[in-house]
Amino acid sequence: MEKIQRALEDYLETKRLAFPRLFFLSNEDLLDILSHSKDANCVQPHLRKCFANVFHLNIAKSPMEAVTSMQSVE
């Protein structure tokens, strides 16, 4: 079990090193983001933990699911 836990922590560390904003998230939050990476709306609850003053992203319903606008907390 310890070997699996260590491997998981190493994997999450590589993701955090690739995108340092992920250091603001707990392991559970990061696993949630990674497990739902195909659905951009599932990432919405974690935005406030990564970026200051970001409340919500408006995402186009196109095949590319591009972000069309951003709403602040204010």
pLDDT digits over 25-74, tens only? 999 999 999 999 888 888 888 988 888 888 888 888 876 778 889 999 88
Q: Is the CATH number 3.40.50.1360 carried by domain 1-71?
A: no
Domain limits of the chain?
1-71
Closest CA to 59 of 35, 40, 37, 34: 40
**What is this structure's pTM?**
0.78
CA–CA separation, 74 and 72 (whole Å): 5
